[in-house]
Amino acid sequence: MRRFLDYILPSGNNDIAAWYCRQSAECRASFDDLLDILCKKAIWSEPEFKRLDNGLGEIRWKSGGVQHRVIGCAWKNPPGYLLLIGCTHKQIVYSPPNAIQTADKRRRGILFQKEGSVCDHESPADCEASE
Amino acid sequence: MRAQRIAKLRSKEYRDAFVGSQISVGLPFQIRALREQRGWKQSDLVERTGMLQPRISAMESPGGTKFTLETLRRLASAFDVALMVRFVPFSELLQCSDEFNPDTFAVPSFAEDAALHAQKPEPRGITAPGMSGKPGLPFPAAKQDNMGLGNLIYNNTARQALAEQPTGSLPSAAGGLR
């Protein structure tokens, strides 16, 4: 069973949980289902996962006619995946446009213990209440 | 995860989305698992369904297409498996979702459906003794299995056991748990 972690900003806020709560119910449910499946899947491959440069990868799905991505980094033994930033993708353009650079900066911040931290993946149930 | 999901299902909007995502996200993994189980490439499925390759590719991508019952019927025919569509309580859908594992999901085709072929076929031309000129054939056993074929197939194929593995420790490189 693969473990998912969220990136925590230096301020202490969970940016992944905040991104999650900004999404539509359709997008949230799809993301939840995808993580449920991926946590049991031994080998990740396209189309639901794509390797990027610098040790990054992206979880990919479509909902509401929009291509969604969660960029992160994976490791083995025990298998895990750190969720670094959520974004959308259209043709070759990410939104936010610096999503990959931000993910890489966050990855290096964690890897070299410079800034940021991680926690077990949080998937808030009360997004509507917090809106 | 399950407790979180149950809490989310208290929202009507999320419940409706959950039903949709079980189709749009869950089905692509089922389709790919069935195809790979048979050793087929996407081109084989193109040939067997008569659908175009980009459509097959989209059907194997999470959220890549909107499925219709006719599409699913054609896929079921191509894989030579049964298709069940029925309304269920959320607890049952949640359980199916929890138990689904794309790495172990497998559905035998009709020819390989051992559970089906293990069933003894009922004698043909059953008649009550004395109702025809021919010697009366025996009635089927008085106590028949009342489980329908659909349930039989469902119970033997759709519910895959989920092999739980213990979660390990955090990677030492990570910045520590909050």
Encode chain A (131 residues) as per-residue pLDDT tens digits.
Answer: 899 999 999 999 999 999 999 999 999 999 999 999 999 999 999 999 999 998 999 999 999 999 999 999 998 888 999 999 999 999 889 999 999 999 999 999 999 988 999 999 998 998 865 54
Name the residue ranges covered by the structural domains of chain B.
Answer: 2-158
Contacts of B136 (CB under 8 A, 6+ apart): B127, B128, B129, B130
- pLDDT confidence tier of residue B167, bands split at 50, 70 and 90: very low
**CA–CA gap between residue A33 and residue B25 (Å, rounded):** 7
Mean pLDDT in residue range B94-110: 96
Contact B62 A30 (CB under 8 A): yes
What pLDDT is attached to residue B136? Answer: 41
Q: pTM for this structure?
A: 0.80
Domain ranges of chain A: 3-119
Average pLDDT over residues B123-129: 59
pLDDT of residue B147: 37
Contacts of residue B39, Cβ cutoff 8 Å, sequence gap at least 6: none
Residue that wins the pLDDT comparison between A123 and B51 = B51
Architecture of B2-158 per CATH? Orthogonal Bundle (1.10)
Please give the Cα distance from B138 to B128 (Å, whole number).
8
Nearest to B175 among A12, A62, A117 (CB): A117
Closest CB to B17 among A25, A113, A120: A25
Q: What is the pLDDT of residue B127?
A: 53
Contact between chains at B61 and A48 (C-beta distance less than 8 A)? yes
Q: Residue B154: its pLDDT value, please?
A: 36
Q: Is B62 within 8 Å of A61 when comparing Cβ atoms? A: yes
Yes or no, beta carbons of B21 and A42 under 8 Å apart: no
A110 phi/psi in degrees, rounded to 5:
-75, -45
Which candidate, B138, B105, B136, B117, places its Cα nearest to that of B38?
A: B105
